[in-house]
Amino acid sequence: MMNNDVVPKLESVIDEEKKASHFNLMDEAGKAIHLDNAKEKLKAGNVDICYPPIFQSGGEFDLRPRGVSNDENLYYDSTTIGALKPGNSASAVYQSALTVAQNEAPELVPNLTKNVGTRIGLEFHELGLILNAKNDRVIKARMVFNVALGFQNLQNKADNPKIRKFSLLLAETLIIGSMKMMRKKISVKLSLKQAA
């Protein structure tokens, strides 16, 4: 239901580096839900929303069911994704992620994964274009990447040793545009002739 209104709005905010408050995003998402319900011909008596849409970022999170969106602007760091453009090397993309970690959380640098993604081709994991510190292959328009930024073997102070270590991985599929990167959902049907 959200794909027609909310997701494109959120992608636009991030791609075009616009400012949008959590509250405004929540409000637009709420309106979209009601419009989509009307489009789907759902009867109001048969549909109930348990929680309003909640947008949170910038280090302030309330994960309780009664959490709310505040008036702060959506915070995101697009440094790594911004480096993923035609003409840049794969190592430049990795270096941008490393630089953010060094500047924002130097204690996490040893935990940064050794690559931040890979090109997707006929195989999900194309070994020739891994986004790591050593790969100087050049990124070209219309390439597709799985960008996967991760930190592994992080530690918390839990008493239970089984939950003391944890890892975090954020991933997204991206298509590289000729002038700018375009974020898209990938839904590709290849015939045998197209794949050859």
pLDDT in tens, 43-58: 666 767 777 788 888 8
Q: Where are the domains of the chain?
A: 1-76, 79-183
Lowest mean pLDDT among 8-12, 100-104, 129-133, 138-142: 8-12
E strands, 42-164, where?
A: 115-120, 126-132, 144-155
Residue 92 pLDDT class (50, 70, 90 cuts): very high
Q: Estimate the crossing angle of helix 22-39 against helix 6-15, to 10 degrees.
A: 150
CATH no. for 79-183: 3.90.230.10
Residue 179 pLDDT class (50, 70, 90 cuts): very low
Tell me the CA distances in angstroms from 182 to 128, 142, 145, 170, one per residue in order: 22, 9, 11, 18
E strands, the chain, where?
A: 115-120, 126-132, 144-155, 165-175, 182-183
Q: What is the pTM of this model?
A: 0.64
Q: Kindly state the average pLDDT of the residues 137-156.
A: 91
Q: What is the pLDDT of residue 62?
A: 84
Q: What is the pLDDT of residue 29?
A: 85
Is-contact 43 97, C-beta < 8 A? Answer: no
